[in-house]
Amino acid sequence: MKQNQWLLPLISMMLLIFLLASCTKQDPTYEPTNNPGLELTKLSDKGITDQQPADEAKQLLSQYEEVSGVRAVNHNGQLLVAIDINHGDRFSLKHLEKKFRGKIEQNFPEMKVTVSTDQKLLFELKELENEIANESISKKEINDRMKKLRKLMKEKT
């Protein structure tokens, strides 16, 4: 009987230590930090069209821990951005998309901004970025492709 009297306080003490030890870690996921594993394609500002706003938008979004990839293209006052969100953060996808759209619109008030987290659009913007970087596409083709992509982005929304 005396052994049972020590068993309950011993187990409760061990649980208390375990609980305190597990709660002391800080979670850095809410702090914007540089993401070293993120691949950003820097587009030229001297090519077919000046892609500086697209590059700035990519740099801005790459600072967030939830972002694992960003693709962006701008032309004629329009900015298309596709964001790849980390798998674990996809539960709050609508909230993150709204947050990132707000950040981009705040930094580029003179541009018409369209943001999407759709994987298909991420792939399409990657192809368009490569064509612009290689200068294998004309301004008219860029305009046509951006209209098509913007229409796809609006359908997903």
Could you give the number of structural domains in the chain?
1
Sign of torsion over alpha carbons 108, 75, 136, 117: positive
Supply the CATH number for residue 56's domain: 3.30.70.1350
- The answer to whether residue 20 is domain-embedded is no
Task: Report yes or no on 72 lying in a domain.
Answer: yes
pLDDT digits (tens, 9 = 90+) for 113-149: 999 988 999 999 999 999 998 889 899 999 999 999 9
Is 127 contained in some domain? yes
Residue numbers of the domain that contains 142: 52-156
Domain annotation covers residue 93: yes
Sign of the four-CA dihedral 135, 55, 105, 82: positive
pTM over 0.75: no
Residues 68-97: pLDDT tens digits?
999 999 999 999 999 999 888 888 888 998
